[in-house]
C-alpha cells in the first residue's frame, strides 16, 4: 500500500487529506463524519500557519519578481511571474527593470488575456510587499491597475515571505530546468530573444509536464485548468445568484 501512496505522492496523512479535499471540490463527493472532521482540523492548522487557500482556477493568482541576472550586451533582466494557485498554470514576462508599471503590464499583457480566453475571471492576486506591488493607492501604477480591473490585492504577512512560496518553488524549477542550460548553450543579444525561448519552455511546463500539486493529481497544469473550469463557473454562479434573486424580488 505504501508503494502505491509513494507513486502518487501521497505517503503522508497530510498529503492524503489535501488530495481528498481537492477531490471533494472537483467531484462533489459525500464524506463520512471522520473525513469531514479530519478536513476541518487540517484547514484550521493551515490557517494557523498562514498557508493560502484556493478554491478554483482564477480564485487566487500569485505574482512575484525574479532577478534573472545581468547579461553582457543586454543588461539587467527581471522576470514577472504569475501562477494560478489552483491549477499551477504559470505565465512569465521579462523586463529590463523592476517597477510598478512592469508589474501592472504583466497583468495587462499576459494574465488577463489568458483568463479571458478561458472564460473565467481573475478574482485575487497575492504578492509580497515589494515596492513594485505596494504603495500609495492613488499614485501607484500597480495598485491603480488592480482597482481598475476590480481585482482584490492580498499581501503576504510581514516577515512571512514563505506565504508566496509557490512562486519561489517555480523559480527554482525554472532556473534548474531552463536558465542554467540556456545560458550555457546560447549567447543572447536582446531581451526578445530570451523571451522567445522562455515562452517555449513555459508552454512545455503548462501543457506537457505533469504536476504533483494538490489539485493536479498528476495531470498537467493546463489539463487541470480545463477540467476545473466548470468548478470555477459554478462557484461564480453561486456567488452572483443571491444578488440576482433579491433584485428580482
pLDDT 10s digits, 45-96 = 444 344 567 889 999 999 999 999 999 889 999 999 999 999 999 999 999 9
Which SS3 state, helix, strand or coil, does residue 45 take?
helix
Same domain, 13 and 131: no
Task: Give whole-number Cα distances, 211 to 14, 54, 170, 224, 248, in Å.
Answer: 18, 17, 11, 9, 44
Closest CA to 26 of 37, 18, 34: 18
**CATH number of the domain encompassing residue 72:** 3.30.420.10
Which SS3 state, helix, strand or coil, does residue 207 take?
helix
Same domain, 76 and 177: yes
Same domain, 79 and 197: yes
Structural domain count, the chain: 2
Q: What is the pLDDT of residues 195-228, one digit of tens each?
A: 999 999 999 999 999 988 788 888 999 999 999 9
Point out which residues pair with 67 in neighbouring strands. Answer: 78
pTM of the predicted model over 0.85: no
Whole-number Å distance between alpha carbons of 208 and 210: 6
Point out which residues pair with 153 in neighbouring strands. Answer: 125
Residue 231 forms part of a structural domain: no
Point out which residues pair with 79 in neighbouring strands. Answer: 66, 94
Domain that holds residue 10: 2-49
Amino acid at each position: 500500500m505504501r508503494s502505491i501512496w509513494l507513486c502518487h505522492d501521497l505517503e503522508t496523512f497530510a498529503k492524503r487529506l489535501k488530495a481528498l479535499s481537492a477531490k471533494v471540490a472537483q467531484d462533489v463527493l459525500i464524506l463520512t463524519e471522520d473525513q469531514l472532521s479530519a478536513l476541518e482540523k487540517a484547514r484550521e492548522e493551515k490557517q494557523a500557519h498562514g498557508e493560502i487557500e484556493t478554491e478554483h482556477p482564477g480564485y487566487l493568482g500569485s505574482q512575484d519578481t525574479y532577478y534573472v541576472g545581468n547579461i553582457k550586451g543586454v543588461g539587467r533582466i527581471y522576470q514577472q511571474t504569475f501562477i494560478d494557485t489552483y491549477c499551477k498554470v504559470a505565465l512569465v514576462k521579462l523586463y529590463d527593470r523592476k517597477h510598478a508599471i512592469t508589474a501592472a503590464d504583466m497583468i495587462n499583457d499576459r494574465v488577463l488575456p489568458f483568463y479571458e480566453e478561458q472564460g473565467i475571471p481573475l478574482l485575487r492576486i497575492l504578492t509580497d510587499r515589494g515596492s513594485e506591488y505596494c504603495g500609495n493607492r492613488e499614485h501607484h501604477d500597480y495598485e491603480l491597475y488592480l482597482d481598475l480591473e476590480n481585482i482584490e490585492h492580498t499581501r503576504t504577512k510581514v516577515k512571512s515571505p514563505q506565504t508566496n512560496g509557490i512562486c519561489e518553488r517555480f523559480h527554482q524549477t525554472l532556473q534548474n530546468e531552463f536558465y542554467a542550460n540556456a545560458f550555457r548553450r546560447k549567447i543572447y543579444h536582446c531581451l526578445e530573444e530570451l523571451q522567445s525561448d522562455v515562452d517555449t519552455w513555459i508552454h512545455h511546463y503548462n501543457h506537457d509536464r505533469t504536476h504533483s500539486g494538490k489539485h493536479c493529481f498528476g495531470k498537467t497544469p493546463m489539463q487541470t485548468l480545463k477540467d476545473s473550469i466548470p468548478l470555477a463557473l459554478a462557484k461564480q454562479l453561486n456567488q452572483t445568484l443571491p444578488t440576482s434573486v433579491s433584485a428580482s424580488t
